[in-house]
Amino acid sequence: MYTTPYINGAPLEAPPASFIDVINPASRRPFSKVLMARPEHMTSAIDAAYAAKDIWGRTLAAERELILQRAADVLEGARQEVVDLLIDEAGSTFGKAQFEVSFTVNMLRAVSGEARRIQGNVMPADVPGMMSIAIRRPLGVVAGIAPFNFPLILATKKVCLAIAAGNTFVLKPSEETSLVGLKIAEIFQKAGLPPGVLNVVPGDGPTVGPVLLTDPRVRLVSFTGSTAVGKMIAVECAKHGKKVILELGGKSPLIVLKDADLDYAVATACFGIFIHQGQICMAGSRIIVEAPIYEAFLERFVAKAKTLKVGDPRDPHTVIGPLIRSSQCGLIDGKIKESVAVGARVLLGGTHEGNFYHPTVIADVKPGMAAFRDELFGPVAAVVRAQDADHALKLANDTAYGLSSAVLTNDLQLAMKFALELEAGMVHINGPTVHDEATVPFGGVKDSGNGREGGHWSMDELTETKWITIQLGRRQYPF
């Protein structure tokens, strides 16, 4: 297992004294060690990516495709080891860790074909005899900054899309999931990716991140994380003339209309807010229920949430594992207290033991309350009463965020009205807010970001268009 920055095809040599402990969020005890990079390591990683970019940019699409397919096979072969790491370092439950590996294997296979599908155009020209062509070229060096919650999926997504498009890459994983980031380097190394094409530099964001944002050789920064950090990154990228892709936070609404099947609505709401303890950007954290079914929904929802097993993440029956860090529990306590002070009711939970926050249901949540407004990133469902469908739509859009959304109804006319009018990058009809696939345009609007990550949408973002003309015969000039 690599425990030091992976630069130019090899992990750094470093004296043991310079390593820090890696803490298991469930036990809150150290289980491994890692070397956090210094700014000069980040510069070396950019040097390596820059040196590799011309050769990698010229590789055949078939070669890039094959490496991504091999990476999928290597990851599948290392499943147990990676699942263990996702549990120990990221606080994943057994089921979430297995899902994360399966999703990533499938994603690598699905994205491999994108390398072949990068397309240009031939356009009509305004000059007789001229051919006018637009082609897509790799950007060169791309940087990725990733969050802790789905550390394998989200970082690998950035890596595989960028290298499929012919770019070289520097990845800064979350400081909370450095080992998972380094595991990605190991997988691609075993898959035969040449040195320098992928460099992984674990480190503290404010310490090493600025190197990526200011170095002119980095052409695009692909960021997934909180809105506050994302906005700061966008400003820095603008100052240095870089493209930026932002995949940020959310406060996604799940709307339950009065004709919805109640048991299905309860199951959908539970999955959407309690998977990975609510630490998901797309979490259905505002559950907006039409008045005629509000009380009945609450009763069944609380009853189901009570049955979710909290505890040992290695137990396959556990649904609620630990939050990533203790301070998150304190932050959630504070937001619940604030909301209760202005009229919200805690029907379940609102407490924690160690880093284990109990599934929590808060009712009568209204706009303006912290539980309505703020991303809590924990297993906290804020349930909101809507007078009717129009009110539900208004409540759903009453947020700074705009990532995912969902509506449960069998009324097709109404479902499509919601689909068109919800201010969100993604709308799911009769499903949860939590859903992702490798080739879809994943992303948000408003404070949830501006990029789209997945499939050919990413190929457009990760390449630049070059205009080429060819004059056939002689062109006539005015003088």
Q: Which helix (H) or strand (E) holds 268?
A: helix 262-274
By CB under 6 A, residue 375 contacts ligand NAD: yes
Judged by beta carbon, residue 97 or residue 265, the one nearer ligand NAD is 97
Q: How far is the CB of 266 from ligand NAD (least distance, A)?
A: 24
By CB under 6 A, residue 285 contacts ligand NAD: no
Which one of 12-20, 222-230, 257-265, 414-422 is the stretch in contact with ligand NAD (CB under 6 A)? 222-230
Which one of 6-14, 53-61, 156-164, 169-177 is the stretch in contact with ligand NAD (CB under 6 A)? 169-177
If we measure between CA atoms, which residue out of 190, 167, 203, 216 comes closest to residue 58? 167
> Per-residue contact track with ligand NAD, 447 to 476, x per CB under 6 A?
--x---------------------------
By CB under 6 A, residue 96 contacts ligand NAD: no
If we measure between CA atoms, which residue out of 41, 167, 163, 35 comes closest to residue 108? 163
Cα dihedral sign for 206, 207, 212, 214? positive
Judged by beta carbon, residue 235 or residue 470, the one nearer ligand NAD is 235
Judged by beta carbon, residue 146 or residue 265, the one nearer ligand NAD is 146
By CB under 6 A, residue 260 contacts ligand NAD: no
By CB under 6 A, residue 47 contacts ligand NAD: no
460: tokens are 């457009």
By CB under 6 A, residue 209 contacts ligand NAD: yes
Residue 120 and residue 459: Cα distance in Å, rounded?
Answer: 11
Residue 239 and residue 183: Cα distance in Å, rounded?
Answer: 33
The DSSP symbol for 405 reads -
The only residue of 37, 403, 415, 459 in contact with ligand NAD, by rule CB under 6 A = 403
Q: Judge whether 281 counts as a catalytic residue.
A: yes
DSSP string, 163-216: HHTT-EEEEE--GGGHHHHHHHHHHHHHTTPPTTSEEE----HHHHHHHHHH-T
Residue closest to ligand NAD (Cβ):
209
Q: Judge whether 461 counts as a catalytic residue.
A: no
DSSP string, 280-348: -TT---EEEEEHHHHHHHHHHHHHHHHTS-BS-TTSTT--B---S-HHHHHHHHHHHHHHHHTT-EEEE
Q: How far is the CB of 315 from ligand NAD (least distance, A)?
A: 25
The only residue of 247, 374, 398, 423 in contact with ligand NAD, by rule CB under 6 A = 247
By CB under 6 A, residue 224 contacts ligand NAD: yes
Of 89, 100, 114, 247, catalytic:
247
By CB under 6 A, residue 376 contacts ligand NAD: no
If we measure between CA atoms, which residue out of 248, 222, 245 comes closest to residue 400? 248
Phi, psi of 178 (to 5 degrees): -65, -40
Binding residues with ligand NAD: total (CB under 6 A) = 28
Q: How far is the CB of 307 from ligand NAD (least distance, A)?
A: 27
If we measure between CA atoms, which residue out of 371, 410, 1 comes closest to residue 186? 1
Residues labelled catalytic: 247, 281
**Which residues sit at the interface with ligand NAD, rule CB under 6 A?**
145-149, 154, 172, 174-175, 205-206, 209-210, 224-226, 229, 233, 247-250, 281, 375, 377, 403, 444, 449
